[in-house]
Amino acid sequence: MFTRRDFLRQGLLPVFSGSSVPAVFANGVYAAAADSPNAARSDRILVLVQLAGGNDGLNTVIPFQDGAYHDARPTIRQETGVLPLSPTLGLHPNLKFLKQSFDQGRLAIVQGVGYPNPNLSHFASMAIWESASVRGGIGEGWLGRYLAYLDQVGESPNHALEGVSAGPLVAPELRSSAPVTTLTSLRAFQLQPVGEHGTAVDAENPLMRFYGAFKANAPAPYGALLDTTLQEALRASHALQATDRSYQAKATYPAQSPIASSLKLVAETIVSGQGVRVAHVTLGGFDNHAREKAVHDRLLQDLDQALSAFMQDLQGQGVADRVLVMTWSEFGRRVNENGSAGTDHGTAAPMFLLGAPASGGLYGETPSLQSLDNGNLKFTTDFRSVYATVLQDYLQAPASDLLGGNFETLPLLKT
């Protein structure tokens, strides 16, 4: 069997990554045969929720007893309904499910998360978080390296669904030489055989057209590799179609909510039993330089309701205990509101870890509102410490190797 590792070692990866081919096939190429048919499989799943644009951490985890908070935000501060976490800190009033999860010991909140010498450019800071490197740049994502690690040590279950990105493009933190699939719906991931016995496939399918053209000119063993890839893609497609026909959500997801739709898609994919390891969804709209309060209130309500439905659904499906949700945003906002009743790009902000694996509570030092760095919060927890904790203590992978350095782990997870 010509394995995926052999394929990559032969240097053919650039041929596919640089070619204009159907995305499902480009991803499927990476899902060639695994080195060991008896590879160990972990049942732990990490779901990333990206709060794109720079979430206002001070209006999410609110220092409601701090006079400096009230002075800095005369029009956008939260004055009533704050959900207390401690005598001095509380959650935004619209985060009722997250408050309930906190009270139940299922929500860990990490305060003041950032990194040294913060970059306030959306793209540069996102690249830093996605790669787990303060140098940023394009390359494998930090979870992409995790997926590649699983392949290298023979623990990959060898399928196209171990890395799932909800949306039309692969999330940069999942970029990898290992399998990553983009999904907009289960029905869209369709490579169905035609005919009663499934003996042929639709010749006009873009994947099949490329497959036929390439295989006709490809010497062995690459033709065999393509056959293996096609069979793997078909198997994954059939499994998802079967799930789509039989899946019944155990919760009511909010209508007209892209984040809820994405999380429902992830739930369906998890329930399909195809060995999902990591998944990624995005909630955008947090770059509120003007008239922030109403927009931010709505976004947090959308997030809370979507996460509530997602966790309830997973609980009803019997898989909630092995799913950890982690939120992140490229940066926070400045302490003082601007002249347009909004906030500009800032630095440190909280991260949430949600689910049965989380050890609920407040972690990290609350950033000071009196000791600022050019009007911005000084970070108190390096985001790579959170990543190291998730990799080492939850995904059971060598964090120092995958992050390119040693970072302190935090007691965020149940032992």
Q: How far apart are CA 73 and CA 90, in angstroms?
A: 16
Q: Which of 412, 411, 404 is nearest to 140 (CA)?
A: 404
Domain ranges within the chain, ordered by starting residue: 4-403
Say how many C-beta atoms besides its own lie within 10 A of residue 90's C-beta: 20
Q: Which H helix or E strand runs over 112?
A: strand 107-114
Q: What is the mean pLDDT of each run of 10 residues along the chain (415 residues)?
A: 45 38 38 33 88 98 97 96 97 98 98 97 96 81 93 66 89 87 72 48 59 62 60 66 77 96 94 89 98 98 98 97 98 98 98 98 97 96 98 96 96 94
Q: What is the DSSP letter of 390?
A: I
What is the structure's pLDDT at 290? Answer: 98
Task: Determine the pLDDT at residue 189.
Answer: 63
Distance CA 160, CA 182 (A): 10
What pLDDT shows up at residue 12? 40
Burial grade of 152 (CB within 10 A; 0-12, 13-18, 19 or more): middle
Q: Which ranges of 73-194 does DSSP label H, i.e. alpha helix?
A: 96-103, 122-131, 142-152
CATH architecture for the domain at 4-403: 3-Layer(aba) Sandwich (3.40)
Give the tokens for residue 207: 């994947």
Give backbone dihedrals phi and psi of 312, rounded to 5 degrees, phi first.
-65, -40
Of 58, 55, 20, 18, whose CA–CA distance to 336 is shortest?
Answer: 58
Structure-block tokens of residue 132:
């787990």
Give the model confidence (pLDDT) of 337-378 as tens digits. Answer: 999 999 999 999 999 999 999 999 999 999 999 999 999 999
Residue 321: per-residue pLDDT: 97
Q: pLDDT at position 272, please?
A: 83
Q: What is the pLDDT of residues 192-213, one digit of tens each?
A: 544 444 445 555 665 566 666 6
The residue among 246, 223, 308 whose CA lies nearest residue 49 is 308
DSSP string, 319-342: -GGGEEEEEE-S--B-SS--TTSS
Which among 157, 150, 147, 179 is positioned nearest to 39, based on CA atoms? Answer: 157
Looking at residue 273, its pLDDT comes to 82
pTM: 0.84
| Rounded-to-integer distance, Cα 151 and Cα 4, Å | 9
DSSP assignment of 187-240: TTS---EESTT--EE-TTSHHHHHHHHHHHHPPTTHHHHHHHHHHHHHHHHHHH
C-alpha dihedral (234, 239, 243, 244), degrees to nearest 10: 0
Gap between the Cα atoms of 198 and 192, Å rounded: 8
